Amino acid sequence: MKIYITADMEGVAVLCHDVQVDQKGLDYPRARELMTEEVQAAIDGARSGGADEILVCDAHDTGRNILVEHLDPDVEVIQGNPYDLGMMSGISRDFDACFQIGYHSMRNTHAGVLGHTYTYDVAELRLNGVVVGESGLSAALAGHFGVPVVLVSGDAHAVRQAKALIKNLVGVPTKEGVGLYGVRTLTPARARELIRKGAKEALESIEEILPYTLKKPILVEVEWTRPLMAEYTAHIPLVRRKDIKSVSYKASDMIDAFHVFNVMMKVAVMAKEEGPL
């Protein structure tokens, strides 16, 4: 059985502030260790569930976070940035299932600790009218290849949001947000224990979990935090201005949807540098 693991950092147990998840932050070195340990716990659980081949995508920020030397020697890891499919780089039809480890909630989630959707410039992302965060977007990319997301660990709100999209998903909440920068968290040891158990359980029930797929063409709608971002991104071919802060794009499939969304985010950064509006 071949398993794909996409790993983020903001949803890792204990972590609750930018000084931990930002590479320039004082607590970042410890956050790398905690992230690595949760990924290894998922690997252990996957092995117990029958996995014999595992690919891990280091999906946080620059993609240079996981301490690869501390993982099982027979797994492979994708590191570095940029990626062809962002947090899902390396996914293909060869995989039997996908795990999302250390995932966080989408932007505008009440008490969603460190919640955002790819960047803090995105106020809301919709796919075919459904509001999604990074978990939903990643699940849709996996679904494009017929791969089901069977396990999500991280912020309790992220787990709830994933379960709203994917029936029978195994969720492992490792912490509960009590504010944008506050959590009620499990200890790292307990979080790892539950991730191991959840990974094994997810693979044992893999037949009950379907890939998250979207009807094509896929309508991508992005609301930005600033009007100028909508103004700039509307100049991308086939992207349409919806209102003062929003644009839309009709994609042929999820690969097309992600590639254009990714270009939008790059252009939005240029708009942010232009001025405060």
Domain ranges for the chain, please list them: 2-115+134-208, 218-274
Instruction: Return the pLDDT at 57.
Output: 98
Q: Which pLDDT score, from 0 to 100, does residue 273 have?
A: 83
pLDDT in tens, 199-231: 999 999 999 999 999 999 999 999 999 999 999
Question: What was the pLDDT predicted at 277?
Answer: 72
| pLDDT on residue 50 | 98
The pTM score is 0.97
User: Does domain 2-115+134-208 bear CATH number 3.90.1150.10?
Assistant: no
Are residues 182 and 18 in contact, defined by beta-carbon separation less than 8 angstroms? no
pLDDT digits over 69-86, tens only?
A: 999 999 999 999 877 899
Q: How is residue 200 written in tokens? A: 């094994």
Query: What is the rounded radius of gyration, in angstroms, for the C-alpha atoms of the chain?
Result: 18
Is 5 a residue whose pLDDT tops 90? yes
Does 276 score more than 80 pLDDT? no
The CATH class of the 218-274 domain is: alpha beta
pLDDT tens, position by position, 98-145:
999 999 999 999 989 999 999 999 999 999 999 999 999 999 999 999
* pLDDT of 30 over the 80 cut: yes
pLDDT of residue 48: 98
| Model pLDDT, residue 60 | 98
Alpha helical stretches, state H, the chain: 18-21, 28-48, 134-144, 156-165, 188-204, 227-233, 254-274
Residue 10 pLDDT class (50, 70, 90 cuts): very high
- pLDDT number for residue 236: 98
8 A C-beta contact, residue 161 and residue 133: yes
pLDDT in tens, 183-205: 999 999 999 999 999 999 999 99
CB atoms < 10 A from the CB of 192, how many? 23
